[in-house]
């Protein structure tokens, strides 16, 4: 299979970005979302929210726990399938390809999911943890799960690829990432979820 093609479009009178997947891929990812949600993802979401509240109560969170960033805004208010990528199965999806049929410039960033950040070291209550930190690829190697440097820019809707997932222990452990798409010169942003298998 290999490549997940993600079409970038503007909706709502050009005030919001939407990603479109090919129908067969979207259906498959919806099935995977349902299969993994209650067993794997939901418990991680509950734990990360609990740990955020424990931090607010003055408790240090141990390394290896998941926690939400201080500025996590919540999920977007519309249905969207997560993108599922595999580390080393040649018969599965291992890379994203972004493109647009409009001549617009999109900036693409990537980082750990701010709802499900896996702490590499303990986090004290007075230490800040922002979503911007998760996009600082100099701060932690696993903040960028792909074998490509970010940010990247799709110029005039050009095709750009993510690079394959880096198959190392830190990226595998983090597992949950988000890519963000921003329309250059605006505040219009979208940040779909990526799940590494």
What pLDDT is recorded for position 85? 92
Confidence of residue 142 (pLDDT cuts 50, 70, 90): low
pLDDT at 120 over 80: yes
* Residue whose entry in the numeric block shows the structure tokens 């607010």: 56
Of 1-5, 21-25, 87-91, 94-98, the range with the highest mean pLDDT is: 94-98
CA Rg, the chain, in Å? 17
What pLDDT is recorded for position 76? 65
Give the side-chain half-sphere CA count within 13 A for 82.
21
Please return the burial class of 166, using the count of CB atoms within 10 Å of its CB with bins 0-12, 13-18 and 19+: middle
Tens of pLDDT, residues 40-66: 889 999 999 999 999 999 999 999 999
Which two three-digit tokens encode residue 64? 């290896």
Report the Cα 89 to chain-centroid distance in Å: 20
Strand boundaries in the chain, DSSP class E: 2-11, 16-21, 66-67, 83-85, 93-99, 106-112, 117-118, 152-154, 160-161, 176-183, 189-190, 193-196
Q: Which of 3-7, 22-26, 154-158, 188-192 has the lowest mean pLDDT?
A: 188-192
Residues 168-193, mean pLDDT to the nearest whole number: 86
Fill in the DSSP letter of residue 120. S
The residue that leads in pLDDT, 178 or 81, is 178
pLDDT at 135 over 90: no
Rounded to two decimals, the pTM is: 0.88
Domain boundaries, the chain: 2-196
Q: Which helix (H) or strand (E) is 56 found in, with range? A: helix 42-56
pLDDT at 37 over 70: yes
The whole-angstrom separation of Cα 132 and Cα 114 is 9
């Amino acid at each position: 299979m290999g490549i997940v093609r993600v079409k970038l479009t503007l909706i709502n009178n050009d005030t919001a970005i939407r990603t479109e997947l090919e129908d067969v891929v979207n259906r498959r990812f919806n099935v995977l979302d349902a299969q993994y949600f209650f067993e794997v993802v939901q418990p991680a979401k509950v734990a990360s929210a609990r740990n955020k509240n424990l931090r607010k109560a003055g408790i240090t969170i141990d390394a290896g726990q998941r926690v939400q960033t201080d500025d996590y805004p919540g999920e977007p208010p519309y249905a969207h399938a997560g993108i599922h990528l595999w580390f080393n199965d040649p018969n599965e999806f291992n890379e994203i390809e972004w493109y647009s049929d409009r001549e617009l410039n999109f900036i693409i960033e990537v980082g750990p999911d701010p709802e499900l950040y896996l702490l590499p070291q303990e986090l004290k209550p007075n230490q800040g943890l922002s979503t911007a930190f998760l996009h600082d690829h100099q701060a932690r190697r696993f903040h960028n799960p792909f074998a490509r440097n970010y940010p990247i820019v799709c110029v005039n809707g050009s095709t750009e690829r993510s690079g394959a997932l880096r198959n190392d222990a830190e990226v595998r452990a983090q597992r949950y990432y988000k890519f963000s798409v921003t329309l250059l010169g605006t505040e219009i942003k979208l940040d779909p979820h990526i799940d590494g298998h």
